[in-house]
Structure 1
Amino acid sequence: MSSAFEEVIVETPAQFDSTMQSVVNNHPGSLVFVYITGKKDTTTGKSWCPDCVVSEPIVTEDFLPEVDRECKKKGLKTILVKALVERSEYKGNPQYPYRTHPDLRVKSIPTFILWNAKDDEKARTDNFNDLDRLDAMRVAAIKIAKQ
């Protein structure tokens, strides 16, 4: 399924900072989201992370298309940076780079962050059952888009 928003894949944590710098520098004014998710198995096409399997359509088929429509009204792009997590490196590793990264501080995956408002706790979630939190993120994103 093609999407209206642009998707950028980060294969490893070592690529994260340079990828984010490139995205921000090459797309000024864009609304940027970071989605940290379990890497998909090449044979099954599914993530090793069951919560990631559930959250991905919420992010890519519901949340982002709605926000992208609002952004387009202002002539802005919506970009999803999808940071993939390898199970063997993540599980049980408190020093995993996304856990210790000062702008990410991942407690669990999946984690979804509105990068443009990274200092605002309302602009991130790792609980995709919390519809109020997702709605707060949507409101924050649309507010930024309308500025």
Structure 2
Amino acid sequence: MDVVKVSGYEAFRSTVEKLTNDGSNNQINVYFTGEKDETGKSWCPDCNEAEPFVLSALKEHADEKSVFVVVDVGPRPFWKDMQNPFRKDPIAPISVIPSLVRWKSPVRLDGDQCARPSLLEMFFKEDTD
């Protein structure tokens, strides 16, 4: 499984477009989280709580051909702006972080759902073909 880390909206959109158009048809899972400081902690406490659960489920349950994109949505003031581009995205609008989204699919987990192992297992095992 490939893990790709990007920061900011433009990098997120260009990355998922490239992955979508690469011809592989691999599953693309996108994890949105708050910007981290030099210690590796996000300003978002819910993101810090969910991350170990998400990473554990990813290792245990994700398809080995899938791609996992970690998206840093930026600093808190940018995220809190209701007009930020993540909130307005036409394919996967995000209203809360953390959020875990299957790209171009209705499969998603939002907020505290991202810290629930049973939901994470279902998320990664859900087959949308």
TM-score bucket (shorter structure): 0.7 to 0.9
Are residue 134 (structure 1) and residue 125 (structure 2) matched?
A: no
CA distance in 2, matches of 1:17, 1:81: 11
What are the superposed Cα offsets for residues 72-105 of structure 1, whole Å, 9 maximum, x if unpaired?
Answer: 4xxxx121111102212112x1111111101121
Aligned pairs, number: 126
Q: For the structure 1 residues 128 and 16, does the alpha-carbon distance in structure 2 shift closer, same or farther, using more than 3 Å as the test?
A: closer
- The Cα shift of 1:136 comes to 3.5
- The Cα shift of 1:66 comes to 2.4
What are the superposed Cα offsets for residues 54-80 of structure 1, whole Å, 9 maximum, x if unpaired?
Answer: 11111112x212233xx34xxxx1211
> Quick check: which one's helix share is greater?
1
Equivalent residue letter for 2:51: E
TM-score of the aligned structures, taking structure 1 as reference length: 0.75
The alignment partner of 2:91 has SS state of: coil
Are residue 65 (structure 1) and residue 59 (structure 2) matched?
A: yes
The alignment partner of 2:68 has SS state of: strand
Aligned residues: CA RMSD: 2.0
What are the superposed Cα offsets for residues 99-147 of structure 1, whole Å, 9 maximum, x if unpaired?
Answer: 110112111100001115x2x2xx101122555543432331xx24xx5
Unaligned 5+ segments in structure 1 are none
The alignment partner of 1:9 has SS state of: strand
Larger radius of gyration: 1
Are residue 109 (structure 1) and residue 97 (structure 2) matched?
A: yes
TM-score of the aligned structures, taking structure 2 as reference length: 0.84
Q: Which residue of 16, 30, 39 corresponds with 1:20?
A: 16
Identical aligned residues as a percent: 33
CA distance in 2, matches of 1:22, 1:30: 12
The alignment partner of 1:39 has SS state of: coil
The alignment partner of 1:128 has SS state of: helix
- The Cα shift of 1:29 comes to 2.5
Q: For the structure 1 residues 36 and 22, does the alpha-carbon distance in structure 2 shift closer, same or farther, using more than 3 Å as the test?
A: same
Unaligned 5+ segments in structure 2 are none
CA distance in 1, matches of 2:94, 2:36: 19
Q: Which residue of 68, 89, 98 corresponds with 2:78?
A: 89
